[in-house]
Amino acid sequence: MYRALQNPWIVIAIVFETMACPPPPPPRFRSNNPDVYYTPGSPPSGMILMALKVMEVDANLKRVDLANQEQMKPEYLKINPQHTVPAMDDNGFTIGESRAILAYLAEMTPIGKLIYPRCPWKRAKINEMLYFDVGRLYPHFQGVYDFSGKNPSDQDKTRLSESLGMFEEYLSRNGWAATDCMTIADLSLLTTVSLLEHLGYNLSNYTRIAEWLPKMKATVPDYQSVNPPNMDAWKAMYDASRSK
Protein backbone atom coordinates (compact mmCIF):
# COMPACT_ATOMS: atom_id res chain seq x y z
CA MET A 1 0.00 0.00 0.00
CA TYR A 2 1.18 3.53 -0.74
CA ARG A 3 2.52 5.28 2.38
CA ALA A 4 0.56 8.40 1.45
CA LEU A 5 -2.68 6.52 2.08
CA GLN A 6 -1.69 6.16 5.73
CA ASN A 7 -2.10 9.92 6.09
CA PRO A 8 -5.78 10.63 6.91
CA TRP A 9 -5.62 14.13 5.41
CA ILE A 10 -4.53 12.72 2.06
CA VAL A 11 -7.33 10.16 2.20
CA ILE A 12 -9.85 12.95 2.90
CA ALA A 13 -8.43 14.97 -0.01
CA ILE A 14 -8.80 11.98 -2.34
CA VAL A 15 -12.42 11.48 -1.27
CA PHE A 16 -13.32 15.13 -1.87
CA GLU A 17 -11.45 15.16 -5.20
CA THR A 18 -13.38 12.08 -6.32
CA MET A 19 -16.68 13.70 -5.34
CA ALA A 20 -15.80 16.93 -7.14
CA CYS A 21 -14.50 15.18 -10.27
CA PRO A 22 -16.62 12.11 -11.07
CA PRO A 23 -15.30 9.59 -13.58
CA PRO A 24 -15.57 10.75 -17.18
CA PRO A 25 -18.44 9.41 -19.28
CA PRO A 26 -17.79 6.43 -21.54
CA PRO A 27 -15.93 7.40 -24.72
CA ARG A 28 -18.03 8.15 -27.78
CA PHE A 29 -17.33 8.77 -31.42
CA ARG A 30 -16.97 12.46 -32.19
CA SER A 31 -19.38 12.05 -35.09
CA ASN A 32 -22.39 9.80 -35.54
CA ASN A 33 -20.84 8.26 -38.63
CA PRO A 34 -17.03 8.39 -38.76
CA ASP A 35 -15.48 8.43 -42.22
CA VAL A 36 -13.59 5.27 -43.14
CA TYR A 37 -11.41 5.39 -46.25
CA TYR A 38 -10.79 2.06 -47.93
CA THR A 39 -9.82 0.39 -51.18
CA PRO A 40 -11.23 -2.92 -52.49
CA GLY A 41 -8.49 -5.51 -52.58
CA SER A 42 -6.60 -4.03 -49.64
CA PRO A 43 -6.33 -6.67 -46.86
CA PRO A 44 -6.08 -4.03 -44.10
CA SER A 45 -9.18 -2.34 -45.55
CA GLY A 46 -10.96 -5.69 -45.48
CA MET A 47 -10.05 -6.11 -41.83
CA ILE A 48 -11.64 -2.78 -40.92
CA LEU A 49 -14.75 -3.51 -42.99
CA MET A 50 -15.18 -6.75 -41.03
CA ALA A 51 -14.56 -4.93 -37.75
CA LEU A 52 -17.28 -2.41 -38.57
CA LYS A 53 -19.71 -5.31 -39.01
CA VAL A 54 -18.66 -7.04 -35.80
CA MET A 55 -18.83 -3.87 -33.70
CA GLU A 56 -22.00 -2.59 -35.40
CA VAL A 57 -20.51 0.76 -36.42
CA ASP A 58 -22.43 2.68 -39.07
CA ALA A 59 -19.47 4.33 -40.76
CA ASN A 60 -19.45 6.56 -43.80
CA LEU A 61 -17.41 4.48 -46.26
CA LYS A 62 -15.29 6.43 -48.73
CA ARG A 63 -13.53 4.54 -51.49
CA VAL A 64 -10.02 5.68 -52.39
CA ASP A 65 -9.01 5.08 -56.02
CA LEU A 66 -5.33 4.19 -55.80
CA ALA A 67 -5.06 3.78 -59.57
CA ASN A 68 -5.91 7.46 -59.98
CA GLN A 69 -3.57 8.47 -57.13
CA GLU A 70 -6.37 9.76 -54.92
CA GLN A 71 -4.25 8.81 -51.91
CA MET A 72 -1.76 11.50 -52.94
CA LYS A 73 -4.24 14.35 -52.98
CA PRO A 74 -3.58 17.07 -50.38
CA GLU A 75 -6.94 16.55 -48.67
CA TYR A 76 -6.19 12.85 -48.16
CA LEU A 77 -2.62 13.46 -47.03
CA LYS A 78 -4.02 15.65 -44.25
CA ILE A 79 -5.90 12.58 -43.01
CA ASN A 80 -3.10 10.10 -43.59
CA PRO A 81 0.38 11.44 -44.44
CA GLN A 82 1.46 7.85 -45.16
CA HIS A 83 -0.91 7.90 -48.19
CA THR A 84 -2.09 4.37 -47.44
CA VAL A 85 -5.46 2.74 -46.79
CA PRO A 86 -7.40 2.32 -44.65
CA ALA A 87 -7.72 5.58 -42.77
CA MET A 88 -10.36 7.05 -40.51
CA ASP A 89 -11.58 10.57 -39.80
CA ASP A 90 -13.81 10.91 -36.75
CA ASN A 91 -14.78 14.57 -37.00
CA GLY A 92 -11.18 15.74 -37.23
CA PHE A 93 -9.60 12.94 -35.22
CA THR A 94 -7.66 10.95 -37.81
CA ILE A 95 -5.89 7.57 -37.78
CA GLY A 96 -3.91 6.05 -40.64
CA GLU A 97 -2.92 2.62 -39.31
CA SER A 98 -5.34 -0.28 -39.65
CA ARG A 99 -4.71 -1.91 -36.29
CA ALA A 100 -4.85 1.44 -34.53
CA ILE A 101 -8.24 1.98 -36.18
CA LEU A 102 -9.24 -1.50 -35.02
CA ALA A 103 -8.34 -0.68 -31.42
CA TYR A 104 -10.07 2.71 -31.60
CA LEU A 105 -13.29 1.13 -32.84
CA ALA A 106 -13.10 -1.34 -29.96
CA GLU A 107 -12.60 1.43 -27.40
CA MET A 108 -15.65 3.29 -28.69
CA THR A 109 -18.22 0.50 -28.90
CA PRO A 110 -19.95 -1.80 -26.39
CA ILE A 111 -19.11 -4.91 -28.40
CA GLY A 112 -15.56 -3.68 -28.87
CA LYS A 113 -15.02 -3.51 -25.13
CA LEU A 114 -15.83 -7.22 -24.95
CA ILE A 115 -13.30 -8.19 -27.61
CA TYR A 116 -10.62 -5.72 -26.46
CA PRO A 117 -11.03 -5.89 -22.66
CA ARG A 118 -9.28 -3.45 -20.35
CA CYS A 119 -7.76 -6.22 -18.22
CA PRO A 120 -4.01 -5.48 -18.55
CA TRP A 121 -3.06 -9.16 -18.83
CA LYS A 122 -5.63 -9.90 -21.53
CA ARG A 123 -4.86 -6.69 -23.39
CA ALA A 124 -1.14 -7.46 -23.34
CA LYS A 125 -1.78 -10.85 -24.97
CA ILE A 126 -4.10 -9.27 -27.54
CA ASN A 127 -1.49 -6.65 -28.40
CA GLU A 128 1.14 -9.36 -28.64
CA MET A 129 -0.87 -11.15 -31.32
CA LEU A 130 -1.66 -7.92 -33.18
CA TYR A 131 2.08 -7.28 -33.37
CA PHE A 132 2.69 -10.91 -34.34
CA ASP A 133 0.37 -10.48 -37.31
CA VAL A 134 1.63 -7.11 -38.52
CA GLY A 135 5.29 -7.80 -37.70
CA ARG A 136 5.70 -11.45 -38.67
CA LEU A 137 2.83 -13.36 -40.27
CA TYR A 138 1.60 -10.71 -42.72
CA PRO A 139 5.12 -9.68 -43.88
CA HIS A 140 5.95 -13.36 -44.44
CA PHE A 141 2.72 -13.73 -46.39
CA GLN A 142 3.86 -10.80 -48.54
CA GLY A 143 7.23 -12.48 -49.01
CA VAL A 144 5.52 -15.36 -50.81
CA TYR A 145 2.66 -13.47 -52.45
CA ASP A 146 4.00 -10.19 -53.76
CA PHE A 147 3.40 -8.20 -56.93
CA SER A 148 6.91 -8.39 -58.37
CA GLY A 149 6.04 -11.32 -60.63
CA LYS A 150 9.00 -13.28 -59.28
CA ASN A 151 8.71 -16.74 -57.76
CA PRO A 152 9.21 -16.80 -53.98
CA SER A 153 12.45 -18.26 -52.69
CA ASP A 154 12.60 -21.39 -50.55
CA GLN A 155 13.55 -19.14 -47.65
CA ASP A 156 10.41 -17.04 -48.15
CA LYS A 157 8.27 -20.18 -48.15
CA THR A 158 9.98 -21.50 -45.03
CA ARG A 159 9.45 -18.24 -43.16
CA LEU A 160 5.73 -18.29 -43.93
CA SER A 161 5.43 -21.93 -42.90
CA GLU A 162 7.29 -21.26 -39.65
CA SER A 163 5.06 -18.28 -38.85
CA LEU A 164 1.95 -20.38 -39.41
CA GLY A 165 3.45 -23.01 -37.12
CA MET A 166 3.87 -20.35 -34.44
CA PHE A 167 0.25 -19.30 -34.84
CA GLU A 168 -0.73 -22.96 -34.57
CA GLU A 169 1.10 -23.10 -31.24
CA TYR A 170 -0.66 -19.97 -29.96
CA LEU A 171 -4.03 -21.50 -30.87
CA SER A 172 -3.16 -24.67 -28.95
CA ARG A 173 -3.48 -22.77 -25.68
CA ASN A 174 -7.23 -22.10 -25.78
CA GLY A 175 -8.45 -22.21 -29.37
CA TRP A 176 -8.26 -18.45 -29.95
CA ALA A 177 -5.38 -16.17 -30.87
CA ALA A 178 -4.85 -14.37 -27.57
CA THR A 179 -7.32 -15.22 -24.80
CA ASP A 180 -10.10 -17.71 -24.10
CA CYS A 181 -12.49 -15.98 -26.51
CA MET A 182 -12.50 -14.07 -29.78
CA THR A 183 -10.72 -10.70 -29.68
CA ILE A 184 -9.61 -8.04 -32.14
CA ALA A 185 -6.38 -10.02 -32.54
CA ASP A 186 -8.42 -12.82 -34.11
CA LEU A 187 -9.99 -10.31 -36.52
CA SER A 188 -6.56 -9.12 -37.57
CA LEU A 189 -5.26 -12.64 -38.11
CA LEU A 190 -8.45 -13.70 -39.90
CA THR A 191 -7.58 -11.21 -42.63
CA THR A 192 -4.20 -12.80 -43.29
CA VAL A 193 -5.14 -16.46 -42.88
CA SER A 194 -8.38 -16.27 -44.87
CA LEU A 195 -6.48 -14.69 -47.77
CA LEU A 196 -3.98 -17.54 -47.67
CA GLU A 197 -6.84 -20.02 -47.86
CA HIS A 198 -8.45 -18.02 -50.68
CA LEU A 199 -5.23 -18.25 -52.67
CA GLY A 200 -5.15 -22.02 -52.30
CA TYR A 201 -2.39 -22.25 -49.71
CA ASN A 202 -2.37 -25.71 -48.12
CA LEU A 203 -3.42 -25.28 -44.49
CA SER A 204 -4.20 -28.96 -43.92
CA ASN A 205 -1.09 -29.48 -41.79
CA TYR A 206 -2.27 -26.82 -39.34
CA THR A 207 -5.17 -28.56 -37.62
CA ARG A 208 -5.84 -25.84 -35.06
CA ILE A 209 -5.86 -23.13 -37.71
CA ALA A 210 -8.26 -25.29 -39.73
CA GLU A 211 -10.58 -25.46 -36.71
CA TRP A 212 -10.24 -21.76 -35.87
CA LEU A 213 -10.83 -20.38 -39.37
CA PRO A 214 -14.50 -21.39 -39.89
CA LYS A 215 -15.22 -20.44 -36.30
CA MET A 216 -13.87 -16.95 -36.98
CA LYS A 217 -15.80 -16.56 -40.22
CA ALA A 218 -18.99 -17.31 -38.30
CA THR A 219 -18.33 -14.43 -35.89
CA VAL A 220 -18.41 -11.79 -38.66
CA PRO A 221 -21.94 -10.71 -39.67
CA ASP A 222 -22.42 -10.85 -43.45
CA TYR A 223 -18.95 -12.33 -43.79
CA GLN A 224 -19.58 -13.63 -47.31
CA SER A 225 -20.57 -10.19 -48.58
CA VAL A 226 -17.61 -8.43 -46.96
CA ASN A 227 -14.40 -10.45 -47.02
CA PRO A 228 -14.56 -12.77 -50.08
CA PRO A 229 -15.20 -9.87 -52.53
CA ASN A 230 -12.24 -8.02 -51.03
CA MET A 231 -10.05 -11.11 -51.40
CA ASP A 232 -11.27 -11.58 -54.98
CA ALA A 233 -10.11 -8.05 -55.79
CA TRP A 234 -6.70 -8.72 -54.22
CA LYS A 235 -6.34 -12.01 -56.11
CA ALA A 236 -7.20 -10.32 -59.41
CA MET A 237 -4.39 -7.81 -58.86
CA TYR A 238 -2.00 -10.58 -57.84
CA ASP A 239 -2.87 -12.72 -60.87
CA ALA A 240 -2.39 -9.71 -63.13
CA SER A 241 1.09 -9.13 -61.68
CA ARG A 242 1.99 -12.76 -62.34
CA SER A 243 0.93 -12.58 -65.99
CA LYS A 244 3.22 -9.68 -66.89
The 3 state secondary structure assigned to the chain is: CCHHHHCHHHHHHHHHHHHHCCCCCCCCCCCCCCEEEECCCCHHHHHHHHHHHHCCCCCEEEECCHHHCHHHCHHHHHHCCCCCCCEEEECCEEECCHHHHHHHHHHHCHHHHHHCCCCHHHHHHHHHHHHHHHHHHHHHHHHHCCCCCCCCCHHHHHHHHHHHHHHHHHHHHHCCCCCCCCCHHHHHHHHHHHHHHHCCCCCCCCHHHHHHHHHHHHHCCCHHHHHHHHHHHHHHHHHHHHCC
The band of 243, judged by pLDDT with boundaries at 50, 70 and 90, is: confident
Whether the predicted pLDDT of 20 surpasses 70: no
Percent of the chain with pLDDT over 90: 84
The residues that are catalytic are: 42
Domain boundaries, the chain: 35-111, 115-242
Q: Tens of pLDDT along 104-157? A: 999 999 999 999 999 999 999 999 999 999 999 999 999 999 999 889 999 999
Tell me what pLDDT residue 202 has.
Answer: 96
Q: Which CATH architecture has domain 115-242?
A: Up-down Bundle (1.20)
Q: Which CATH architecture has domain 35-111?
A: 3-Layer(aba) Sandwich (3.40)
Tell me what pLDDT residue 1 has.
Answer: 45
Segment 62-77 mean pLDDT: 96
Q: Tens of pLDDT along 24-67? A: 566 788 888 999 999 999 999 999 999 999 999 999 999 999 99
Indicate whether this model's pTM tops 0.85. yes
| Integer-rounded Cα radius of gyration of the chain | 21
Whether the predicted pLDDT of 11 surpasses 90: no
